[in-house]
Chain A
Amino acid sequence: MMELVTAVGIGVVAAAGVWLVLRPRTFQVILGMSLLTYAVNAFLLTMGGLRVGAPPVLESVVAPDPAEYVDPLPEGLVLTSIVISFSMTALYLVVLLTSRGLTGTDHVDGEESP
């Protein structure tokens, strides 16, 4: 059940993101990018297997039982990808504002479609 809910949730967010990215306004595109990023990060997190109540950090160093812990690597990967995608989205926002300033329109082509 948990898998199903997570999968449907990620799918809905990703679909919304894709739809927004394909819209003509730059603001819609950046919202779509953010949603897609969320979806991808959540997807990465599930790649270590979904477990409830299993910590990723070892609690005792004496003969730890790997079965009691969740794989910490995907969480490390997600952390990296959050930082990168967040900064890239911020950069994209700046370019978007520059484009708005230079062209006077918020269309992704820099001009209104006729």
Chain B
Amino acid sequence: MVDLTSRGIGGPITSQLVDLTPHLPVLPIVLPLAVAGFMLLLEERRRIFKAGLGAATMAALVLASFVLLNAVAGEADGVIVYRLGDWPAPFGIVLVVDRLAALMLMVTSLLGLASFLFAVSGWAIVSPRFHSLFLLLVMGINGAFLTGDLFNLYVFFEVLLAGSYGLLLHGSGRARVKAGLQYIAVNLGSSMLFLIGCGLIYAVTGTLNMVDIMRVAADLSTHDATLFRAGLAVLSVAFLTKAGVWPLSFWLPVAYPVATPPVSAMFVIMTKVGAYVLLRTVALASGVPETGVVEFLSPWLLYGGIATVVFGSMGLLASSHLPRIASYATLVTAGTLVAAVGTSDQRVISGALYYMIGSTLATGAAFLLAELITRLRPAEAPQAADAAVEPVFGDDYETSLQTDFEGYEVGIAIPAGTAMLGGAFVVAALVLAGLPPLSGFLGKFAIVSGVLSGGPELSWAAWVLAGVVLFSGLATLIALMRKGIDAFWRPGEETVAEVRSLEALPIGILLALCVALTLFAAPVVTYLDATGAYLANPVEYAKNVLEFGP
């Protein structure tokens, strides 16, 4: 187990104060929750202060994730177990930071920082209470990545869903309310499936700690094992819905494109939460082969993932609107990740994780770019929210009636805005389509080479997976090229796009990270290979979580 204090994190100041470093794992949950609650006390007119406070929180989360990432990366089996209330597992709830969770925290906080900065450049003020909802969403996502308890996972799912309902409806308007109605209905339904699965699993195992569940499941009677599998299947349907796996993905291309751009960008990480939980389940089960869970789940994940990639690729070919293209690209990434989990091959999984980092950041950037690109042709821009929100509280007036950002200037206009947009679009497209020289290519290469290196007798599913991964790249390329030609090269009434520095900065951050991911591929791939190897054999994880005593 990693001991944070012994690694020198915290510095000499801790000798005088209460030593808070061991509590770092709970920070990604507590900090956004506390700040979101505090912000509710402030009235909406103080938006500059709220924007600064929120940005500082997100920056602190980036820092905290980085420290956690470094702490677990230092050792081969780096696991930090944080016992809430110091109750030992399986009686209390534990938070577990391992290589996978730390990686997901890092991606979440980076994407969150960029989306938040983009939001405060304008979109945050179209409806009230954006900042609090955004931080609550971040809290829910972080909690889902960290928790080691099944029911606690349900609670964090609900927190992130509640935040996402509010954010999807942010800005109001007919399209968003219609999409929100369906999105909420689908997610309420899948939450109920989650509860049913939780109940069944608790009924047969008598525990909710994920590691302990797998330990107990190893010696269930045949009778109970059937119930256990039924519970696991119901639970997986809920996760597959969240991950957007076909045919449970119909809600995603409806909801994501109509949300405001910074919200859509943040939503990209939400499908990864579902895929993450599936990966975690399969990884924990692979440590206890007697349960047969891996053999039970893997085919579903593999074929479901392949079908999702095909569905996403077809959607890409049929779309011409950039937010829709980015939504289907989200599906392709989620499908690739789920299919990789289904192969239960550590090389494929680490390759898919590498691909997932780059494409999550690039999809986020594409959602943010979409709005700026419509400014090139203001005459064709889609209508903004068609109805202003009725004020609920006194301080809503200031913000809610403002549907455009006239006179609300943040930062200075950047010269050569059109050129900057074009350049950013090309970088995002290269990563998403998986073309060299950027990280998308390396990720896809790692997946395909992992799939095809399975020996002389490859299953047909491996060939199909390699084929659809490459095909999805082609489909992404065609869709984005068509959109790029339409946006930048088509002659017509083109105005010079006005891009402000605070809008350019988040896109710049995301794309610079994609480039950095390519330039520093060696340490990242080393880390991910170790992650894949460690997930394939989670003995250390299980031992640390269930360890009694201090």
Contact = CB atoms under 8 A, between A and B. Distances in A.
A73 interface: yes
B174 A110 contact: yes
Contacts of A29: 185
Contact of A40 (B161, B172, B196): B196
A47 B155 contact: no
B198 A84 contact: no
B192 interface: yes
B196 A103 contact: no
B476 to A, nearest CB: 30
A102 B177 contact: yes
B188 interface: yes
Q: What does DSSP make chain B's interface, helix, strand, loop or mixed?
A: helix
B387 interface: yes
B162 interface: yes
Contacts of A95: 165, 169, 177, 180-181, 184
Interface residues of B, number: 32
B199 interface: yes
A98 interface: yes
A74 B202 contact: yes
Contact of A21 (B165, B185, B200, B208): B185
B151 A80 contact: yes
B168 to A, nearest CB: 10
Contacts of B199: 43-44, 47, 74, 77
B181 A99 contact: yes
Contacts of B151: 77, 80
A47 B200 contact: yes
Interface in B195-213: 195-196, 198-200, 202-203, 206, 208
Which range holds the interface residue count of chain A?
20 to 34
Interface string A68-103: 000101100100110011011101100110110011
B321 interface: no
A23 B55 CA distance: 43
Contacts of A91: 162, 165, 184
A108 to B, nearest CB: 6
A47 B185 contact: no
B449 interface: no
A80 B155 contact: yes
A99 B203 CA distance: 40
Nearest to B159: A84
B89 to A, nearest CB: 15
Given A40-B192, A47-B202, A91-B162, A96 B181 contact: yes
Given A43-B199, A47-B203, A88 B188 contact: yes
Most chain A beta-carbon contacts within 10 A, residue among B154, B158, B172: B158
B213 to A, nearest CB: 14
Contacts of B45: none
Contacts of A102: 172-174, 177, 387
Contacts of B208: 73
A88 B178 contact: no
Given A40-B192, A77-B151, A92 B178 contact: no
Contacts of B192: 36-37, 40, 85
Interface of A: 21, 26, 29, 33, 36-37, 40, 43-44, 47-48, 71, 73-74, 77, 80-81, 84-85, 87-89, 91-92, 95-96, 98-99, 102-103, 108-110
Interface of B: 151, 154-155, 158, 161-162, 165, 169, 172-174, 177-178, 180-182, 184-185, 188-189, 191-192, 195-196, 198-200, 202-203, 206, 208, 387
Given A74-B202, A85-B192, A95-B169, 18 more contacts: A21-B185, A33-B188, A36-B189, A40-B192, A40-B195, A43-B195, A47-B199, A48-B203, A77-B151, A80-B151, A91-B165, A92-B184, A95-B180, A102-B172, A103-B174, A103-B178, A108-B185, A110-B177
10 nearest A-B residue pairs (beta carbon): A47-B203, A110-B178, A47-B199, A44-B199, A40-B192, A99-B177, A84-B158, A102-B174, A40-B195, A98-B177
15 contacts: A33-B185, A36-B189, A40-B196, A44-B198, A74-B202, A77-B198, A77-B199, A85-B191, A85-B192, A91-B162, A102-B174, A103-B174, A109-B178, A110-B177, A110-B181
